[in-house]
Amino acid sequence: MLKKLIILIYIVICLIQLSFAEIVNIGIYHNSKITSFIFHPEEGNYSVFTEQGKLLDLDKSELLELKYINNRVHIKSLDKDYGSFKKVRFLGTSYKNAFKVKITGSKNIKIYEDNLFVNLHGYYNYFQLINNIEIDNYVAGVVESEVGRSPPPEYFKLQAIICRTYALKNIKRHQSEGFSLCDKVHCQAYNRKPKSVLIKEAANKTNGIVIVDSDINLIVATFYSNCGGETAKSEEVWRQSLYYLRTVKDTFCLHENNAVWSKKIPKSKWTNYLISHGFPKENLKPECGLEYFQNCREQFFNDQNVQIQFTKIRTDFRLKSAQFNVIPNGEFVTLEGKGFGHGVGLCQEGAMRMAKLGHSYIDILHFYYKNVHMIDLEYLDFFKAEF
């Protein structure tokens, strides 16, 4: 009976949280083999639950050490051993809650908001840590992790909407692992609770706003550092053609940090690479030119009846972008490139420049994503039902 009551209390707590905001589960320290860490409340108070029920309450004056021992979570404080358990839940009980995590052996201390779930990753013999967090708190953390604290406030609003849309579009990416998204760039970079008050305000001011297409589906809200003056169509990088991810001429990013780059490659390495993809060896004599110029964004390196996708070349040579010219230079070839990233969707440096020049986040959004709509999550199901 007591166990059922404890489970009911836990469900009620979750339902109270969900009634105020959408909650997401983020795998933090993803792919890190954590076997020991310290948990310390940084703001608010926490109740600690295990599979056996409520274990204790914590405030900011207390901390716990958790260790992976014999496929169990062993918990102890400075003066008490609480035993071993199969799973542990740290649930914030105040209006605002945040906690510190210090991994044993690391000097870094990270702060996260809301709740922490600790599971056993039995097959690999280490912990799985899940930040159970209100989505706007997560979005704020992503914005600061992705772009830092220097852009203007108007840009923070735009990035918050994009990050929220991207997260909800990909919410099942790690479902098989027991959480929604990870904290790596594979999903979106998410390092900790943001330090910037402006970023927190931007996430709150755009609360619930997402971007949808003409069928009221969440868009693929891709972004990257710099397009080099021209964005790419989605099908030029991935297989899917999306009407709102079209080529945009962007002059705003041309004088920003990542607008241009260059990389020298030994000529022999470059020619061997071309030959390995079918380029006629007899046409690569020293006196023959190796120049190749992209007049605009091209999908393929196309020469001597040989086609190599520029995105493949970018991956193979670890280049900043797939937009570059090839210039022979003695025993080397120089790849002179533009931009940084895949080039599809929002150009962050271009958008930041637009924000500095006084453009609203709404105007910037529609500059990069064509014929899309912003909608409140609260009404999303209603509109989808109407359509």
For residue range 171-193, list pLDDT tens digits in order: 999 998 889 999 998 899 999 99
Domain final position from 307, 323, 338: 338
CA contacts within 13 A on the Cβ side of 379 = 12
Q: What percent of the chain has pLDDT over 70?
A: 90
For residue range 37-67, list pLDDT tens digits in order: 999 999 999 999 999 999 999 999 999 999 9
pLDDT confidence of residue 5: 47
pLDDT at residue 266 is higher than 50: yes
Least confident of 89-98, 152-161, 277-286: 277-286
Question: Is 231 within a domain?
Answer: no
pLDDT confidence of residue 122: 64
Domain final position from 89, 105, 133: 133
pLDDT confidence of residue 223: 92
Residue of 21 and 126 predicted with greater confidence: 126
pLDDT confidence of residue 13: 44
Average pLDDT over the chain, rounded to whole? Answer: 89
Kindly indicate the confidence band of residue 385, based on its pLDDT and cuts at 50, 70 and 90: low
Phi/psi at 188 (5° precision):
-155, 140
DSSP 83-121: EEES-EEEEE-SSS-EEEEEETT---EEEEESEEEEEEE
For residue range 340-375, list pLDDT tens digits in order: 999 999 999 999 999 999 999 999 999 999 999 999
Question: Is 292 within a domain?
Answer: yes
Kindly indicate the confidence band of residue 239, based on its pLDDT and cuts at 50, 70 and 90: confident
Kindly indicate the confidence band of residue 19, based on its pLDDT and cuts at 50, 70 and 90: very low
Question: Is 91 within a domain?
Answer: yes
Question: Is 71 within a domain?
Answer: yes
pLDDT confidence of residue 72: 93
pLDDT confidence of residue 382: 65
Least confident of 64-78, 127-141, 300-314, 334-348: 300-314
DSSP 141-200: HHHHHHH-S-S-HHHHHHHHHHHHHHHHHTTTTTGGGTSSEESSTTT----SS---HHHH
Write out the residue range of the structural domain in which residue 129 sits: 2-133
Residue position matching structure tokens 């637009």: 354
Domain total in the chain: 2
pLDDT confidence of residue 305: 72
Domain final position from 78, 109, 133: 133
Sign of CA dihedral 200, 203, 204, 206: positive
Helices (H), 29-83: none
Question: Is 88 within a domain?
Answer: yes
pLDDT confidence of residue 163: 95
Q: What is the DSSP letter of 22?
A: -
Question: Is 22 within a domain?
Answer: yes
Q: How far is CA 378 from the centre of its chain?
A: 24
Least confident of 11-20, 25-34, 93-102: 11-20
Question: Is 38 within a domain?
Answer: yes
Question: Is 77 within a domain?
Answer: yes
Q: Are 178 and 229 spatial neighbours (Cβ–Cβ below 8 Å)?
A: no
pLDDT confidence of residue 289: 56
Residue of 233 and 387 predicted with greater confidence: 233
